[in-house]
Structure 1
């Protein structure tokens, strides 16, 4: 296959997210969608359409045995991610897997190691990291426009579907954690995790939750997730030593606002020693960066193709997935210990595609 020829993709899982992946593979000039696989053939058939030439399959073993599949996108429950991904990697396929990367760090690390061993791309579908607004947020931090990051406040609340198998942290927080991992220099490597959760409706697991993540250099991040709110809020505030930015995902006309305002500290010395600190405030302008309109999933499948062709790790690689998974697992341990601060197990990232 030449660099100019489209790569060939198959989607496993035709439920909630699989149809979105299938549509973007179909619409991408980098890809040909050749198959959709689901245990429910009728559901898979509805995804591909009555007149489509895309094949409907119900057996992953038969799918992975095909020679005309370069990459497999896995959109199934988290408990199935590791077994499906490992089988696909062993079959010589590149893998895109829905978040979280796995239902446990040990299995996630096995996936990353296997991808490295067989020289295949393992990519995690951290969709928000491909949106124009999050790309701009990362750029503003990387170029020093905000200065040093001092705090992050993230809110993701909605009257949502109470899940039977995962708590509100595992359902909603991966979005915010993956964004933090992408925009923070060095990724999401907190000094610990403290989780407080509540189940006021008796669902059997936390439906309202708060994560506190102390960061390097004295900074802190706070994530609020909630299934029970009658109002929908998706907002993140990133405060820096020079500027602060506010992302409001529900404001299509001005998703990102940058405030040139902040606190200024003037140290007073006496005999070379700090005697006092004067606090003043800088009140500057606010501005909204121009953002292009493009679908995040389209950018994501393009990044998958580029990483395969260039034999490099993708923007949201397995190591990123492990860092997010480590925080989720730490949240469970913190809840078990009354909400106290617990350590996060290191991700032990590996290079996934050999040069």
Structure 2
């Protein structure tokens, strides 16, 4: 890829127009078409970005040898057949979250991409925001120390989805961020999930996930469609410092607190003595790193181009999407068991060819 190559956006609904606009503006890509069964909707999106070809035929897109990649922005239940057809046609694929509507289908998609030697990328958009990239950098360089806990809240009023519950709709954002920023990724032993359906819609509208991380840390994720206030916040506490990400505060999206509990190694005869000797409280400075303001999706489409050009997995690869699916799968099993912890018994390791 030394020159612009052609990509097609499949789906002109909620997310497709954003993808189309960023492919159109990219120095790496030529937006070959916007594909949607509703041709009028595709034409409307094309007009909104200054013009682009449109088609209602996915088969026509796959048959075009000049199309290098497709970006799929359709409901999760359609991802599996669309992705497999695109890979069979020799196209690289980017697919919006969640990767698939079941873990088994996601696994098959990842395996197919590997078999074909093609890129399968999860559009985990938040991972390309300046704030989350800075979080990853700070954690990787040890600024927080060893991670002790994660507390994440994503609540708002609506939109209640007809085909998925609140876990599958909102939690993939937070789970993908955790997989991106934590050392070792989303390394979870089990999941405990509690959900509520006060509207009697047949799916949970309020949900809580508890995820014990290997190494002793605990992650907690709260999602809610019924809150009159909108909150997107994550607190990551470490042995040295605590980081707070507030996505709705553009003046200070990331704050680092040199405040917390210092845990010593003194051992005393009784538990009470040990507790008093081992724990002291630290009150230090708070600072906020300067962050550029740029659209994350520009980074997403640039990363897809770089991964193809360099022949490497994308930073948010199909495997990262699969790890998110593994947690959602365990959450569904936990819900069915009344909130009892459900182990992640599924193989989430990348597979290599025999």
TM-score (norm 1): 0.95
Q: Distance in 2 between matches of 1:101 and 1:237?
A: 25
Structure 2, unmatched stretches of 5+, are none
Change (3 A) 1:270 1:205: closer
Change (3 A) 1:284 1:93: same
8 A contact 2:146–2:239 mirrored in 1 = yes
1:267: how far off? 3.9
Q: Distance in 2 between matches of 1:266 and 1:63?
A: 61
Report what 1:328 is aligned to: 328
1:53: how far off? 5.6
For residues 226-237 of structure 1, the aligned pairs below 5 Å read 226-237=224-235
Q: Distance in 1 between matches of 2:139 and 2:188?
A: 17
Q: Distance in 2 between matches of 1:50 and 1:218?
A: 49
Change (3 A) 1:148 1:230: same
Change (3 A) 1:162 1:282: same
Q: Does 1:196 align with 2:194?
A: yes
1:275: how far off? 6.3
Residue of structure 2 aligned with 1:146, choices 122, 144, 147: 144
TM-superposition CA deviations, 1:3-38 (whole Å, max 9, x none): 430121001000000000000000000100011110
8 A contact 2:21–2:49 mirrored in 1 = no
Residue of structure 2 aligned with 1:95, choices 93, 96, 99: 93
Report what 1:347 is aligned to: 348
Q: Distance in 1 between matches of 2:333 and 2:49?
A: 50
Secondary structure at the aligned position of 1:178 is classed as: helix
8 A contact 2:24–2:49 mirrored in 1 = no
Secondary structure at the aligned position of 1:229 is classed as: strand
8 A contact 2:10–2:35 mirrored in 1 = yes
Change (3 A) 1:110 1:235: same
1:276: how far off? 2.1
Change (3 A) 1:50 1:275: closer
Report what 1:312 is aligned to: 312
Over 3 Å off, 4+ runs: 50-53, 266-271
8 A contact 2:258–2:283 mirrored in 1 = yes
For residues 75-114 of structure 1, the aligned pairs below 5 Å read 75-114=73-112
TM-score (norm 2): 0.95
Report what 2:2 is aligned to: 4
1:195: how far off? 0.2
Report what 1:302 is aligned to: 302
Report what 2:204 is aligned to: 206
Secondary structure at the aligned position of 1:193 is classed as: strand
For residues 14-25 of structure 1, the aligned pairs below 5 Å read 14-25=12-23
8 A contact 1:8–1:31 mirrored in 2 = yes
For residues 37-76 of structure 1, the aligned pairs below 5 Å read 37-49=35-47, 54-76=52-74
Q: Does 1:293 align with 2:308?
A: no
Q: Distance in 1 between matches of 2:248 and 2:274?
A: 43
Q: Distance in 2 between matches of 1:319 and 1:97?
A: 13
Change (3 A) 1:197 1:269: closer
1:350: how far off? 3.3
8 A contact 1:19–1:47 mirrored in 2 = yes
TM-superposition CA deviations, 1:283-308 (whole Å, max 9, x none): 11000001111110000100000000
TM-superposition CA deviations, 1:133-188 (whole Å, max 9, x none): 00000111111000001000000000011111111000100000000010111110
1:57: how far off? 0.7
Q: Distance in 1 between matches of 2:298 and 2:49?
A: 23
What is the alpha-carbon root mean square deviation over aligned residues?
1.7
1:346: how far off? 2.5
> Across the two proteins, how many residue pairs are aligned to each other?
349
Q: Distance in 2 between matches of 1:180 and 1:269?
A: 33
Structure 1, unmatched stretches of 5+, are none
Residue of structure 2 aligned with 1:176, choices 154, 174, 177: 174
